[in-house]
Structure 1
Amino acid sequence: MVAALAAATDHSGLGAICHLDSDSGIAAAMAMERERITEHVRFSARPFAGVPTLAKDLGGPFAGFPVNAGSHALEGRAEGSADSDIARRFRDAGFCLFGLTTSPEFGLSLASEPARGPICRNPLDPARTAGGSSGGAAAAVASGIVAIAHATDAGGSIRVPAACCGLVGLKPTRGAMPGGPLFGNHLGGIASEMAVCRSVRDTALIFQTLRGKAKGPYADPVAPDHSESKFRIGFLTGTGALYPTDDERCQTVTEATRVLEADGHKVVPLKWETLEKSAATSQRVFAGIVSVNLARLADSAAIDMELAEPLSRAFAERGHRMAGTELWGILNDALHVSYNVWALFETVDCILTPMLSFAPPAIGSFPTDHVDTELHLDRMATFAPLASLANVSGFPAITLPFGRAKDGLPLPVQLLAPMGHEPVLLAVAARLEAEERWHHRFPVAGLAA
């Protein structure tokens, strides 16, 4: 914990942490040490005993820590008096929390640069974004402040920052993570909570540690038997003319398929047209759901939208204008996305795609001081055209770096699989990771380089 707190100070210029509570972190670490000495059996059952971590300033609350969601509109609210279900599981696993990470206001951006501050920068190139909305979490992990950080994903918000910063990010199957008592369905089921990590190993362990019966409307998915080690892997190297992916990132997918094919997996080329309609529909569904959610928040007594950023107010107004019949159509569209993607998995076990269309852009590329919601949505779709597909369909997806670009930044890929098939994603991701085409630039605080 001492090393993590020192690293937080050393890397404060990254803007990864928006709320630091050293006393809570030290108290948690000391309590874990006392447990190690006096209750060895209980301590040994905690897979992350004593590991420092940070929670995202958005998502299920952690008792004793505020949730401002990157907004002036929520400042001054009392700190949470009780843990959410996933917060409790983080603590039960042995994690020691000492702060909150930066997110954009209400998670509305693929950059983490809230007007209330701080501006979150990419540790690999501070002139560029660390992504959003879990940008602070990704920056903290990539810089080595912590090895693992809590994160949420409603439209790519775990995977995009992980991709920007050279990390592994898993968006779990809908319902696999506990979402109670408040988080489970507040975004129509498109949001999931988990973490950003530095390795597939850590991702697999935290997934197994946190998952379980959710207090919400979705059944707990049961992972099928994956005793067969060879998979049918569909792959997509491009993302069409409207949101094109650059050559370097297309080539990275091709290189990954070569490795997997040489390993005995069957690789199946897919055309962009196979996913184009579902991707476009997913973006529209995401826009509708977040707009209605912000309209609902604006109508509550808990928030003063006059203090919110212009773009957030514009999304809330968009939600207020939406008729019930339009929202109903959006929810039906989401079901069609799930059905159409399910159909693809009749012929393949997982799908390999680019994660980002181009390198993380400069700070300021996703401004929120305007009211053009369509422009903002288009900017996000241009950067990560396949990000929201997993959220709207409910399927699990994982990103990991598979190479280094000419500019030294990571070249990420994404894998999607059917409901409950995280073991497939983790197995394929582990095989790609074993190629060692990416190495972390910063060691974890307190550990040898």
Structure 2
Amino acid sequence: MSRSEGAGFTVAGGDATALADQISAGAMTCAEAMAAAIAAACDRESYGAICQLEAELGMAAASALDKERRDDPNRFAVRPFAGVPTLAKDLGGPFKGFPVRAGSRLIDRPDPSADSDLAERFRNAGFNLFGLTTSPEFGLSLSSEPARGPLCRNPLDPSRTAGGSSGGAACAVALGIVALAHATDAGGSIRVPAACCGLVGLKPTRGTIPAGPGFANHLGGIASELAVCRSVRDVSQLFDQLRGRAKGPYADPSREDRPKRRLRIGVLSDTGTLYPTESGRLEAVVSAVRVAEADGHEVVPIEWSALEASVASSSRVFADIVSVNLASLADTLKLDLRQAEPLSLAFAERGRALSAPELWQTLSADVHISRNLWTLFESIDCLLTPMLACAPPPLGSFSTDHSDTELHLQKMAAFAPLASLANVSGFPALTLPFGCDRDGLPLPIQIFARMGEETTLFRLASRLEAEDRWRHPYAVAGLAA
């Protein structure tokens, strides 16, 4: 059966499912797919998506898969993304053969001796890795402009940011170098870059995706790993391949397929100060609501006051956890952060200044935020909001050459007001483009669902995606027209 059979739509410019189908049908070999991706990476190098290119590793892995296809076709056939090239983020993981430097000149670690649990699942699904994507130093920014380079540009407008901290991943996928790329999300770092570049990004339910054996990217539960994608069907199938049996510090959420009844879709009111109406962000939500209502779903108005305190508190929880984490990382690796970017040093000092009682209050706030969302979702199945407050800003808007952590946090919260709410609460949230503004830049929306109910997100997002309000300007490398 074709991997895309029954999907009901095709993706302009292609996606990972289409590329996997082409390889499966024998239209191209895994080596040919990898060669096309490497050629695209070299041709579009000026965008700064990739910070480490390992062409030989990629070609070797592709050749090994081609051999498997000849020698053990049954094993090859069960890999849903067999032969599809991809990239890992320079943060999270690790993937064997690709030493993570977290965008910093201070980290020079040897190649990891083994894959993480998640990396192993990526490979088992059939993906071929050939490089790492650009991330800001220690993932502390919503733009990917590390001092060590490269500077990552938005493929839709090279003067603007591609987002962060998974900006390199989003840039590579939007450029068609790869059809999807590994990414991480601790405060919007999958969803914000996806939103900036016209892609689909899911922050999964806490505990769904494995982060072992080190669990270093859990950040007290606020971080998740997955990918940025070009279609809802890609993220849905990838999620099924990677999820479950996380063997970690959180319960493995069950995924229950709810009956396809009418959804109760919450829409926030009185958020004009967060999302200026002239930016078109609210209009995209209104358009999505009209589609949902036409399909028979119920729209439930939600007062902003029901979430306001949780949103404000989630920004503070995020700030405290990433600060303490960076201070701990510096101590563990014996990093001299005086040689780091000024903002990284400031965040570490902020973390060291937090007392144990203050950190305990932060962790307690995390629990209460999650409970508040559970209470809200007693009356709704999902919550529909804008993803960003404005178009991707110019490069340099989230500079890291200063030590004002509060200013930096305020700027990030103003750009993506509800991003960290999903991380801190543990609830899943997905972004996808739903139209474009006068400059041709995407108008991304965000959908929240209950813990463990990613199927609700995929159901609604697939329906909205079928409206065809956004077209990818770059085709996936190697994909036949």
Counterpart amino acid of residue 322 in structure 2: V
Alpha carbons 2:279, 2:391 under 8 Å: kept = no
Measured at CA, do residues 285 and 246 of structure 1 come closer, stay the same or move farther in structure 2, by a change above 3 Å? farther
What is the aligned counterpart of 2:381 among 338, 343, 349? 349
Query: Offset of 1:304 from its aligned partner?
Result: 2.9
Alpha carbons 1:124, 1:165 under 8 Å: kept = yes
Alpha carbons 1:46, 1:94 under 8 Å: kept = yes
Alpha carbons 1:163, 1:401 under 8 Å: kept = yes
Measured at CA, do residues 415 and 318 of structure 1 come closer, stay the same or move farther in structure 2, by a change above 3 Å? same
1:384-427 alpha-carbon deviations (Å, 9 max, x no partner): 00000000000000000000111100000000011100000000
3-state secondary structure, aligned to 1:72: coil
Task: Name the stretch that deviates more: 222-231 or 145-154.
Answer: 222-231
Counterpart amino acid of residue 16 in structure 1: A
Counterpart amino acid of residue 11 in structure 1: R
Partner of residue 236, structure 1: 268
Partner of residue 307, structure 1: 339
Partner of residue 390, structure 1: 422
Within 5 Å, give how 1:46-445 maps onto structure 2: 46-74=79-107, 76-183=108-215, 186-236=218-268, 239-241=271-273, 244=276, 246-445=278-477
Task: Name the stretch that deviates more: 391-400 or 180-189.
Answer: 180-189
Query: Offset of 1:59 from its aligned partner?
Result: 0.3
Query: Offset of 1:236 from its aligned partner?
Result: 2.3
**Unaligned segments of structure 2, at least 5 residues:** 1-33
Alpha carbons 1:167, 1:196 under 8 Å: kept = yes
Partner of residue 45, structure 2: 12
**Which whole-Å CA distance do the structure 2 matches of 1:392 and 1:56 have between them?**
22
Q: Normalized against structure 1, the TM-score is what?
A: 0.98
**Which whole-Å CA distance do the structure 2 matches of 1:121 and 1:238 have between them?**
33
The structure 1 segments of at least 4 consecutive aligned residues displaced by more than 6 Å after TM superposition are: none
Counterpart amino acid of residue 393 in structure 2: P
3-state secondary structure, aligned to 1:284: helix
Alpha carbons 2:217, 2:224 under 8 Å: kept = no
3-state secondary structure, aligned to 1:106: helix
Alpha carbons 1:245, 1:356 under 8 Å: kept = no
Measured at CA, do residues 95 and 41 of structure 1 come closer, stay the same or move farther in structure 2, by a change above 3 Å? same
Query: Offset of 1:41 from its aligned partner?
Result: 1.1
Counterpart amino acid of residue 97 in structure 1: L
Query: Offset of 1:235 from its aligned partner?
Result: 1.2
Query: Offset of 1:81 from its aligned partner?
Result: 1.0
**Which whole-Å CA distance do the structure 2 matches of 1:166 and 1:80 have between them?**
33
3-state secondary structure, aligned to 2:220: coil
Query: Offset of 1:240 from its aligned partner?
Result: 4.8
1:366-388 alpha-carbon deviations (Å, 9 max, x no partner): 00000000000000000000000
**Which whole-Å CA distance do the structure 2 matches of 1:363 and 1:285 have between them?**
27
3-state secondary structure, aligned to 2:412: helix
Alpha carbons 1:238, 1:250 under 8 Å: kept = no
What is the aligned counterpart of 1:2 among 8, 14, 35? 35
Query: Offset of 1:163 from its aligned partner?
Result: 0.2
Query: Offset of 1:211 from its aligned partner?
Result: 0.5
**Which whole-Å CA distance do the structure 2 matches of 1:206 and 1:238 have between them?**
36
**Which whole-Å CA distance do the structure 2 matches of 1:85 and 1:418 have between them?**
25
**Which whole-Å CA distance do the structure 2 matches of 1:246 and 1:294 have between them?**
38
Alpha carbons 2:97, 2:112 under 8 Å: kept = yes
Counterpart amino acid of residue 334 in structure 1: D
Alpha carbons 1:235, 1:268 under 8 Å: kept = yes
**Which whole-Å CA distance do the structure 1 matches of 2:267 and 2:278 have between them?**
16
Counterpart amino acid of residue 371 in structure 2: Y
3-state secondary structure, aligned to 1:398: strand
Measured at CA, do residues 151 and 246 of structure 1 come closer, stay the same or move farther in structure 2, by a change above 3 Å? farther
3-state secondary structure, aligned to 2:219: coil
Measured at CA, do residues 107 and 185 of structure 1 come closer, stay the same or move farther in structure 2, by a change above 3 Å? closer
Query: Offset of 1:79 from its aligned partner?
Result: 1.1
**Which whole-Å CA distance do the structure 1 matches of 2:270 and 2:122 have between them?**
38
**Which whole-Å CA distance do the structure 2 matches of 1:63 and 1:340 have between them?**
40
Please, what is the CA RMSD of the aligned residues? Answer: 1.2
1:264-293 alpha-carbon deviations (Å, 9 max, x no partner): 111112222221111110000000000100
Query: Offset of 1:72 from its aligned partner?
Result: 0.7
- Asked if residue 39 in structure 1 is aligned to residue 72 in structure 2, the reply is yes
Alpha carbons 1:69, 1:105 under 8 Å: kept = yes
Counterpart amino acid of residue 296 in structure 1: S
1:164-198 alpha-carbon deviations (Å, 9 max, x no partner): 00000000000000010113664101000000000
Query: Offset of 1:431 from its aligned partner?
Result: 0.6
**Which whole-Å CA distance do the structure 2 matches of 1:143 and 1:245 have between them?**
30
**Unaligned segments of structure 1, at least 5 residues:** none
Partner of residue 25, structure 1: 58
Equivalent residues, number:
448
